[in-house]
Amino acid sequence: MVDSDKVDPLDQMPIIHIENDADDHILLKKALGAASIANPVRFFQDGQQALQYLQATDEVPLVILCDVLMPGMDGFELRDRIDADPVLRMKAIPFVYFSTWGSNALVNKAYQGTIQGYHLKGRSFAELQAELSLIVAYWKRCLHPRSFQ
């Protein structure tokens, strides 16, 4: 096998997408594909589903992209629950709010917790694709505790 044929292990790490709007999830998957991002995507419609998955899985996600305001367990509560779980906290999964909109109040509330970013999805497909490319490229290059395992 030629070096260029090797599969990058970071490309195998799933992206966790938590969003109550299924149409937004479809757009996200299309934008990732258009950006040549091959990571598998795990989709959850609320924080409770995502938390159950994260507590049960052996997979190590690349990043969590979570909407802020959702019915049931919203992004804020999910982040708090992850922080309160010592096993999940030690997995060091980057947690990024990824929302259609932001306000001073929402962003300030988000940064009262432990997060790694608050990004807007953009107003066009091209903006969505660019934002996802930026987030994924950053986390593929960033060192974190799992980098040394």
Which domains, and CATH codes, for the chain?
Answer: 11-22+37-142 (3.40.50.2300)
Residue 59: its pLDDT value, please? 92
**Amino acid found at 126:** A
Residue 71: its pLDDT value, please? 93
Residue 149: its pLDDT value, please? 66
> Which residues, listed in sequence order, are joined to residue 146 by a DSSP beta bridge?
none
What is the average pLDDT score of the chain?
Answer: 93
Mind listing the pLDDT tens digit for each residue in 92-112?
A: 999 999 999 899 999 999 999
Residue 1: its pLDDT value, please? 44
Residue 148: its pLDDT value, please? 73
Residue 53: its pLDDT value, please? 98
The radius of gyration computed from the CA coordinates of the chain, to the nearest angstrom, equals 15
- Virtual torsion, Cα 121, 70, 15, 117, nearest 10 deg: 60
What pTM, to 2 d.p., does this model score? Answer: 0.92
Regions in the chain scoring below 50 on pLDDT:
1-2
**Amino acid found at 86:** P
Compute how many other C-beta atoms are within 10 angstroms of the C-beta atom of residue 5. Answer: 6
CA gap 138, 110 in Å, rounded: 20
CA atoms within 13 A on the CB side of 87: 8
Residue 3: its pLDDT value, please? 54
